[in-house]
Amino acid sequence: MKRTKHRAYDDGPHAANIAGALLNWFAVHQRDLPWRRSRDAYRIWVSEIMLQQTRVETVRPYYERWLAQFPTLTALAEAPQEQVLKAWEGLGYYSRARNLHSAAQDVVARYGGEVPDDPDAVATLKGVGPYTAGAVLSIAFNRSVPAVDGNVMRLFSRLFLIEDDIMQPATRQGMEQLALALIPAGQAGNFNQALMELGALVCSPTSPKCLACPVAEYCQALAAGRQESLPVKAKAKAPRPVDVAAGVIFHEGRVLLVRRPEEGLLGGLWEFPGGERPAGATCEQALHQRIAESYGIELEIEGHLTDVRHVFTHLVWNLAACTARVAPGSPIPEESETLRWVTPDQISRYPLPVAHQKVAAALLACLSGNRQAKMRR
């Protein structure tokens, strides 16, 4: 991996005291989390991937269900991708699931299903960056490797009064060296977890709880009254709005689902067909054009079903969904690896992006409302 020149940060004269205070605090205050009950590298790996950009409380039920379905790394490697994506459905950032699946297959092929405890080998696994590698190697194997996530960067910015932008790779790499210097011999797993836990529970983004902090007496930001203004973090660009049209297309009681390309946003998930709506085009106009171009189907649009707004890191989808029928005499594409005709009840078997799950829910509510109206007549 290409490394930019990192910044050098000094761990100061209190490194041993800081490490000791953190370990003592962690021994008493750590949360009882399901992934902390095991030192199994696969389980720790799964939890670390799920926890990226996702809250602990959201991850808990996913983690439990995941291990019920894929109790071992080999079980995950052997599962079909569709089952893996379905188990991930709703967690977002689906490339994490695809990469974990493919890395598990790699570990089975190259290491007989055992996660290697070698930093160079772990670093080559798909989707495993320096943070995940450090977390797995230190927690599962107690290897002295730093694991610096956003929580740790915030904590270090304050504890050592570091005013560099934490979005810069050089800052992260400097902090990794700082963390490495702080790791006490033989305590890497607990020390790395203590850093993350303190960042999550005490040195929180707003209103850090300095009165309850075990390293307050060493904290340079607290001494300078700067704890609320750190870390320095460049503002991310606002997500770009994109108008999208989706068609719930019926033919003989079935609905068309299509699979997104393997690579790219939401790769491998299923959805109602459609695509980007050109500026000024209605949902109906966009669907006529996109569905004819992509599948050769001529449509009869029935009407508007629902609108869904979904925010990604870099994009905001403003999705409009319409219901439609295949026009009489139109060609009907055959089922394939990327195209299925399913009954409305079967839609939930497929892994769908959250925005399309909402379209499916609106469809089912609409069908159920129609049924009830018919029964009342």
Annotated catalytic residues are 48
**Residue 153 in the binding site for ligand SF4 (CB under 6 A):** no
Residue 369, CA distances (Å) to 76, 249, 269, 328 in order: 40, 19, 28, 27
Residue with token string 């949360």: 31
**Residue 190: which region, alpha, beta or left (left: phi > 0; alpha: psi -120 to 50)?**
alpha
- Euclidean distance between CA atoms 325 and 309, whole angstroms: 24
**Residue 222 in the binding site for ligand SF4 (CB under 6 A):** yes
Do the beta carbons of residue 304 and residue 284 sit within 8 Å?
A: no
Taking the complex as a whole, the smallest distance from the CB of residue 216 to ligand SF4 amounts, in Å, to 4
**Residue 208 in the binding site for ligand SF4 (CB under 6 A):** yes
Taking the complex as a whole, the smallest distance from the CB of residue 187 to ligand SF4 amounts, in Å, to 19
The radius of gyration of the chain's CA atoms, rounded to the nearest angstrom, is: 25
**Interface pick for ligand SF4 out of 44, 155, 188, 326 (rule CB under 6 A):** 155
347 secondary structure, DSSP code: G
Residue with token string 């370990």: 23
- Kindly determine how many residues on this chain lie close enough to bind ligand SF4 according to the rule CB under 6 A: 15
**Residue 166 in the binding site for ligand SF4 (CB under 6 A):** no
Q: Which stretch binds ligand SF4 (CB under 6 A): 128-136, 181-189, 205-213, 232-240?
A: 205-213
Taking the complex as a whole, the smallest distance from the CB of residue 149 to ligand SF4 amounts, in Å, to 15
Q: How far is CA 202 from the centre of its chain?
A: 24
Residue 61, exposed/middle/buried by CB under 10 A (0-12, 13-18, 19+)?
exposed
Contact positions with ligand SF4 (CB under 6 A) in 332-371: none
Q: Which stretch binds ligand SF4 (CB under 6 A): 121-129, 133-141, 187-195, 221-229?
A: 221-229
Taking the complex as a whole, the smallest distance from the CB of residue 158 to ligand SF4 amounts, in Å, to 4
**Residue 219 in the binding site for ligand SF4 (CB under 6 A):** yes
Crossing angle for the helix pair 188-201 and 15-29, to the nearest 10 degrees: 70
**Residue 326 in the binding site for ligand SF4 (CB under 6 A):** no
Kindly list the residues in this chain that would bind ligand SF4 in the complex (CB under 6 A): 155, 158-159, 202-203, 208-210, 213, 215-216, 219, 221-222, 227
